[in-house]
Amino acid sequence: MKTAQQNNGTPTPKEDSGVDVSYLDMDMLRFTTAGSVDDGKSTLIGRLLYDSKSIFEDQWDALESTTKNRGEEKVNLALLTDGLRAEREQGITIDVAYRYFATPKRKFIIADTPGHEQYTRNMVTGASTADLAIILIDARKGVLTQSRRHAFLSSLLQIPHLVVAVNKMDLVDYSEDRFSEIINDFKEFSENLDVDDITFIPISALKGDNIVNSSNNMSWYKGATLLHHLENVKVGSRKNPHDFRFPVQYVIRPDQDYRGFAGRVVSGNIRVGEKVSVLPSGEQSRIRSIETVDGSAEIARTGESVVLEVENEIDISRGDMIVRENNVPNCKSTFEATVSWMNKEPLQAGRPYVVMHTSRTTQALVKEVRYRINVDSLHREETAELQLNEIGRVVVETAHPLFFDAYKLNNDTGSFILVDPDTHVTVGAGMIRSTSTSALKDDPSSRNIVWEPWNIDREVREQRNGHEARIIWFTGVSGAGKTTIARALERELWERGLRTMLLDGDQVRHGLNSDLGFEPSDRKENIRRVGEVARLFYEHGNIVLCSFVSPYREDRRVVREMFPSDRYLEVCVLCDPEILQERDPKGLYLKAKQGTLKSLTGFDAGHEAPTENDAIFIDTGNTEVEQAVVTILDKLNLK
């Protein structure tokens, strides 16, 4: 159990400890433990560390000594995480204690968070970056208010995986009936939680049942042990890999020839040469260089701290945000948010606070407290204020606009904290409510329409589908072969087991857009409607193939900006005019020659080809359909 030390005194895993010393290249799971007081959270973590052979010799010696001083016969594993003197005296967890360990499969960071209601705010701190939450429930007590509170907070914080660990099964004679009863109670409560993955495991942290090794006392349980589940659960789903967001933290000016912008890529990635916009000014430029701690790089990825240099001389300061040109967040000074209140002084409408959001700090006012949430029933209750540890929906107005996404889409840009301007104490943690990235415009026809969030998020659907949602937009003149290639591509994707939707110009104009003609204004409206329909299918996790003449760049640009740039692919299908008129599959060119059809794109009306660097051009005069499909699939690089 104990491990050796090097001569310099630095603890290192023993060769036979079961810890792979090459773990630095493995992925990492951040998880938090929570539950009611005395449910056994600290004991559980101590047991995980002990049974996975992750306790070092000096730690074990200190543990034995402390246990002996307390007059206890058996080593108390909970003392590994109850590090504060006040915690050891009371036998409870007050602060958030972090522990690190690794197995041959994965690295782990554990946040042991408080169970007492008084310290719920610390649970929010510990869970804010977690990929998984373990909710401990005492098998004797069942599902308590604090259990519900912590599960609800985990849901609000968009932690993708929950493990309900029913602890102290040894004190209920390892009863399967009691375990089933607790499962049913929790499932009834969790039906209204926004959590898609909940796993139930019966354990005894004190005895070690189903922690690392399967329990002989619960042969009726056929599921995985806790450690096995932690080693194999999918990680990284909290990060947004698509929407590039770079809050500027510092401007670096070592000399008059260099001006760089330092910060951390909170989501997405960016390459040298890509177009970017700077908020709030809206100025546009390109990335000239990317500097990392290891030198120059061609790409900056999520989580990396880098220095970006842009080509133009633009006024950029701390608190500004660099984003992709066609993929920008909301830029607003008024928004709705769910707030977990952390201060003894209640949150009251009209009182000024300071908002800290990414690298931006500004004064703010809570304009309205709309309701609080009853954590037992999850019902809304009318109130004019939020008391300590209460959770509610509020409307916040800031002195300067914030650049944010909905918390569901981006944890980093969708979260903020409220600070008391007089005491400088953090008083609340906020999560900006779900909003559409193509929000309703502020016009008279939409002011009384409230955006309804998606029932099941696209990211969840993508996980189930096993692939990302995409938009593939085919443009080109009539007869070039857009629909032929799109149909062949859809068939190939379908054969691979992917979820698809094909939208074709002729089909749409026979139904949804049958009221539109072919004047420029009608063509514009045709593409606008198609873009909105495509977005609906995209948000449901599909690969959407759109085949439309769509001759105008501006109309296609409007559609392109509805989606993340790395999820949208434009395919321009070309062909020699003589071949087009020879093919003439619908007889349109013949009608145009006879003068019975006016403004036919490709004959007497022009088509504006894409100018974007990432567009694909396919000439069907010398490219077979099969080769076109292969070219598009290579470009898609579906994940």
For residue 87, give the CATH number of its domain.
3.40.50.300
Give a yes or no: residue 373 inside a domain. Answer: yes
Contacts of 253 (CB under 8 A, 6+ apart): 259, 260
Q: Report the pLDDT averaged over residues 575-600.
A: 73
Residues 471/563, Cβ–Cβ less than 8 Å: yes
Domain total of the chain = 4
Dihedral angle at the C-alpha atoms of 495, 498, 499, 502, nearest 10 degrees?
-60
Residue 59 clears pLDDT 70, i.e. is over it: no
- The order of strands in the sheet holding 197-202 is 97-102, 107-112, 28-35, 132-138, 161-167, 197-202
Contacts of 430 (CB under 8 A, 6+ apart): 337, 338, 339, 340, 394, 396, 415, 416, 417, 418
For residue 294, give the CATH number of its domain.
2.40.30.10
Same domain, 29 and 117: yes
Q: Which of 432, 447, 468 is the last residue of a domain?
A: 432
Question: What Rg do the C-alpha atoms of the chain give, in angstroms?
Answer: 29
Give a yes or no: residue 219 inside a domain. Answer: yes
Cα separations in angstroms, 315 against 248, 259, 279, 333, 616: 12, 10, 10, 21, 35
Residues 477/575, Cβ–Cβ less than 8 Å: yes
- Domain encompassing residue 624: 458-636
Average pLDDT over the chain, rounded to whole?
A: 81
With bands split at pLDDT 50, 70 and 90, how would you rate the model's confidence at 477? Answer: confident
- Among 71-75, 156-160, 193-197, 627-631, name the most confident range: 627-631
Same domain, 207 and 344: no
Q: How far apart are CA 293 and CA 300, in angstroms?
A: 12
Burial (Cβ within 10 Å: 0-12, 13-18, ≥19) of residue 523: buried
Give a yes or no: residue 448 inside a domain. Answer: no
What's the distance, CA 15 to chain centroid?
38
Tens digit of each residue's pLDDT (9 = 90 or more) over 459-474: 888 888 989 999 999 9
By residue count, the chain amounts to 639
Q: Report the pLDDT averaged over residues 21-50.
A: 74
Tens digit of each residue's pLDDT (9 = 90 or more) over 297-319: 999 998 899 999 999 888 899 99
Catalytic option among 514, 550, 565, 599 = 550
Comparison of pLDDT for 87 and 360, the residue scoring more: 360
Give a yes or no: residue 10 inside a domain. Answer: no
Q: How far apart are CA 577 and CA 589, in angstroms?
A: 10
- Among 153-157, 491-495, 602-606, name the most confident range: 491-495
Q: Which of 172, 202, 232 is the last residue of a domain?
A: 232
Same domain, 83 and 215: yes
Report the candidate in 470, 466, 489 with the shortest Cα–Cα distance to residue 539. Answer: 470
Give a yes or no: residue 296 inside a domain. Answer: yes
Same domain, 615 and 582: yes
Residue 80 clears pLDDT 70, i.e. is over it: no
Amino acid at 249: Q
Neighbours of 214 (CB within 10 A): 16
% of the chain with per-residue pLDDT over 90: 36
550 annotated active-site: yes
Largest CA-CA distance found in the chain, in angstroms, rounded: 104
Report the candidate in 556, 535, 554, 325 with the shortest Cα–Cα distance to residue 438. Answer: 535
Tens digit of each residue's pLDDT (9 = 90 or more) over 128-178: 678 898 999 999 999 988 788 788 888 888 888 899 999 999 999 999 999
Q: How far apart are CA 154 and CA 148, in angstroms?
A: 10
Same domain, 339 and 284: no
Same domain, 183 and 206: yes
Residues 565/324, Cβ–Cβ less than 8 Å: yes
Same domain, 158 and 103: yes
With bands split at pLDDT 50, 70 and 90, how would you rate the model's confidence at 38? Answer: confident
Q: Which of 232, 257, 278 is the last residue of a domain?
A: 232
